[in-house]
Amino acid sequence: MKKMKLILLVVAMLAAMVAGAAPAFAEQQGAAEEIAVTGVVKDGPDKADGTPAYSITDESSIPGPTQPFGKGYILEGDYSAYVGQRITVYGIPHQDHEMRILDVTRIG
């Protein structure tokens, strides 16, 4: 009986460890959830291959006058119709070297 309780205790501890490690492992593997970013679309410098680039800075990440820069993203695709407009885009963020890219899934 004591041996069975010990085995159950070890199994429960292992299950708790695996459950706690799974979200961290998924985050490290690049599994990201869709986020919403609201800001003004800006026309950026073209990429090396001549493809136009656009950016957006999340208004909710701009803390104030002491730190005026918020979390910005490069938007992949043609956003020329939205330049200068305040919009909300939804997408999956990922890091490409030093740049944050937002793979837009929809515009709201």
Query: What confidence tens digit (pLDDT) does each residue in 11-68 have?
Result: 656 555 555 544 444 444 556 799 999 999 999 888 888 888 899 999 887 676 655 6
**Domain check: are 52 and 4 in the same one?**
no
Rounded-to-integer distance, Cα 44 and Cα 26, Å = 32
* Count: domains in the chain: 2
| Residues 93 and 102: beta-carbon distance below 8 Å | yes
Give the span between the Cα atoms of 23 and 69, in whole angstroms: 29
Question: Does one domain contain both 39 and 91?
Answer: yes
Q: What is the largest CA-CA distance in the chain?
A: 72
Tell me, yes or no, whether 82 and 53 share the same domain.
yes
What's the CA gap between 24 and 12, in Å, rounded?
20
d(CA 2, CA 65): 63
Residue 71 and residue 47 in one domain: yes
- For residue 3, pLDDT over 50 is answered with yes
CB atoms within 10 A of CB 91: 20
- Based on the fold, state whether residues 64 and 83 are members of the same structural domain: yes
Whether 51 and 4 map to the same domain: the answer is: no
Cα dihedral 16/22/27/31 (nearest 10): -150
Domain extent for 88: 35-107
Are 66 and 53 part of one and the same domain?
A: yes
pLDDT value for 24:
47
pLDDT of residue 51: 85
Are residues 6 and 42 both part of a single domain? no
Task: Report how far residue 30's alpha carbon sits from residue 28's, in angstroms, rounded to the nearest whole number.
Answer: 5
58 and 100 in one domain?
A: yes
CATH number, domain containing residue 67: 2.40.50
Question: Residue 42's pLDDT is what?
Answer: 96
Residues 26 and 54 in one domain: no
